[in-house]
Amino acid sequence: MSSYLRMMKKAVTGDPDTVFVFLCNFEVERDWAENYIGLPGPQVSGTDETVQRMEELGALLGAESDFLLVQNPLDSSFRDYAAALGLTPPTELVPEKRPEGAGTAAAVLSSPQLLARLRELGEGGAYLIPMGTSPEVQKIAEETGLRLAGAGADIAEKVNSKIYSRRVTEELGLRSIAGRCCENIGELADALDWGLADSPAVIVKEAYGVSGRGLIVIDSPKKADRLLRMVRRRAAQSGSDRIDVVVERFLAKKADLNYQFVIGRDGSVHFDFVKQALTENGVHKGHLMPAGLTPQHSAEIEQAAHTIGARLFADGFFGVVGVDAILGADDLIYPVLEINARLNMSSYQGSVIELLAPSGSAVLAKHYPLRLDRPLAFEDIRTALGPYDGLDEDATGLVINCFGTVNAQAHVSPAGFDGRLYTLLFAPDKERLLQLDTAATERLACLSTKEGASR
């Protein structure tokens, strides 16, 4: 077991050898958003298959003595591959029933046999650690006796709102991006006028939007008027002018950042890491380590973590926290873009990096998009990667940390579908890391039909 995981277990349970039952519910923001009003547009229902299969990222965080709730068993070749790296995955627990479109938490609650097994684990002292605590997750804990390795659903929902993030940042006196919280249409109209008066653009974000969803850029009064017409039309139909968003002025930046800390049950705050976050149009693309910050910037981030952690604990929260931040073009740290009081993409990388990355090395976490006309076997990918599969004697190479997302859409559109391969790349320095990324991109391109290459 990695020291990273042992520390996490000790902080949230008091025992570094606690047995965890992982439930990597990447759709949790959708659950939290259920009682809030976002931007006009089609509402997503059900759970996207690719997002669903991202739950397999928990396989390389958990220890062999832990358990992982998944709707589909891990590919046997991937499991053997992980074990050969020294990262034997947890025991998989698969629901025997799966309602159509349901996430894993709902599937667990529909599966009497699995619930009985979880009760046994609960009696043995195991803890349930979700990505984030939703009402369904809390119900699993209540029905099985598994203790939650974090705060309950009501508190988790409260502290994960972007409105909460903005208000807390201002109350704590942390440097913040100019913006406003909006909980009705009048506040939204005022915020748009205010924002565009002194900024080329504003960003409107839903309280529980994630990875580019629930976000719109407004760069002219015309677009602002169009948005207001849409929300007013909806309000006339519903009889309510409520809307739950934040409006922020555009801020020129050098880099996006992500940092993580863990709040213990006793209120202690343990700082884990800061990474450069790679994004495109608000969509998460990966992480780069080290973050390339000055010692002063790093110290400011760590101090912010302790300040935010103390406030979250005072508001009833404990557990893993990820915070998105910005290094501005003005060379100033803006330590809170949003607080994600839950596990994050970077949380699932900790054990792998600790085991495989020598001190001082560079690491890139990213997913490679694939356009496929047939499902791929795990060995197809390893063959395509050739000499870049795994680590060489210089600890340089690529490690796959999630395979299930490659074929997740195969049954939805068998004639052609999009897959994602989640990876971690390792090299002695950033220059060689980027060279490795280029080489891996070229190698994997032969698997995609859009490249027109024979496979």
> What is the CATH number for 328?
3.30.470.20
Residue 452 binned pLDDT confidence (cut-offs 50, 70, 90): very low
How many angstroms separate the Cα of 225 from the Cα of each of 25, 193, 244?
Answer: 37, 10, 18
**Cβ count within 10 A of residue 418:** 17
How many angstroms separate the Cα of 255 from the Cα of each of 23, 108, 213, 291, 360?
Answer: 31, 40, 21, 9, 20
Based on the fold, state whether residues 370 and 431 are members of the same structural domain: yes
Residue 167 within any structural domain of the chain: no
Residue 168 within any structural domain of the chain: no
Across residues 234-258, what is the average pLDDT?
96
Asked whether residue 340 carries a pLDDT value surpassing 90, the answer given is yes
- Domain-terminating residue out of 157, 190, 224: 157
Residue 451 binned pLDDT confidence (cut-offs 50, 70, 90): very low
Based on the fold, state whether residues 405 and 330 are members of the same structural domain: no
Determine the pLDDT at residue 212: 66
> Which segment of 295-304, 342-351, 361-370, 404-413 scores lowest on mean pLDDT?
404-413
pLDDT tens-digit map of 92-148: 999 999 888 889 999 999 999 999 999 999 999 999 999 999 999 999 999 999 999
- Domain-terminating residue out of 249, 265, 294: 249
Instruction: State percent of the chain over pLDDT 70.
Output: 96
Across residues 369-377, what is the average pLDDT?
94
Determine the pLDDT at residue 92: 98
Residue 449 binned pLDDT confidence (cut-offs 50, 70, 90): confident
Residue 6 binned pLDDT confidence (cut-offs 50, 70, 90): very high
Residues 6+ positions from 337 with CB-CB distance below 8 Å: 165, 177, 256, 323, 324, 325, 326
Based on the fold, state whether residues 41 and 82 are members of the same structural domain: yes
Residue 209 within any structural domain of the chain: yes
Asked whether residue 273 carries a pLDDT value surpassing 60, the answer given is yes
Asked whether residue 307 carries a pLDDT value surpassing 50, the answer given is yes
Based on the fold, state whether residues 324 and 368 are members of the same structural domain: no
Based on the fold, state whether residues 245 and 256 are members of the same structural domain: no
Q: Please give the DSSP secondary-structure letter assigned to residue 149.
A: S
- Domain-terminating residue out of 249, 278, 298: 249
Based on the fold, state whether residues 119 and 26 are members of the same structural domain: yes
Determine the pLDDT at residue 100: 83
Residue 53: enclosing H or E segment and its boundaries? helix 49-53
Across residues 23-41, what is the average pLDDT?
92
pTM of structure: 0.93
Based on the fold, state whether residues 149 and 187 are members of the same structural domain: no
Based on the fold, state whether residues 224 and 278 are members of the same structural domain: no
Residue 325 within any structural domain of the chain: yes
What CATH number does residue 186 fall under? Answer: 3.30.1490.20
Determine the pLDDT at residue 48: 85
Residue 233 within any structural domain of the chain: yes
What CATH number does residue 420 fall under? Answer: 3.30.70
Based on the fold, state whether residues 9 and 69 are members of the same structural domain: yes
Based on the fold, state whether residues 118 and 237 are members of the same structural domain: no
Determine the pLDDT at residue 46: 47
Task: Specify the number of domains making up the chain.
Answer: 4
Rounded to whole angstroms, the Cα distance separating 61 from 87 reads 8
Mean pLDDT of the chain: 94
Determine the pLDDT at residue 102: 86
Based on the fold, state whether residues 12 and 129 are members of the same structural domain: yes
**Cβ count within 10 A of residue 178:** 14
Asked whether residue 15 carries a pLDDT value surpassing 60, the answer given is yes
Based on the fold, state whether residues 146 and 8 are members of the same structural domain: yes
Residue 43 binned pLDDT confidence (cut-offs 50, 70, 90): low
How many angstroms separate the Cα of 451 from the Cα of each of 65, 200, 221, 330, 414?
Answer: 42, 38, 41, 41, 18
Residue 279 within any structural domain of the chain: yes
Nearest 5°: CA angle at 368, between 326 and 324?
A: 15
Residue 22 within any structural domain of the chain: yes
Q: What range defines the domain where residue 264 resides?
A: 252-340
Q: Which residue has the higher pLDDT, 376 or 42?
A: 376
Structure tokens at 239: 């009889």
Residue 169 within any structural domain of the chain: no
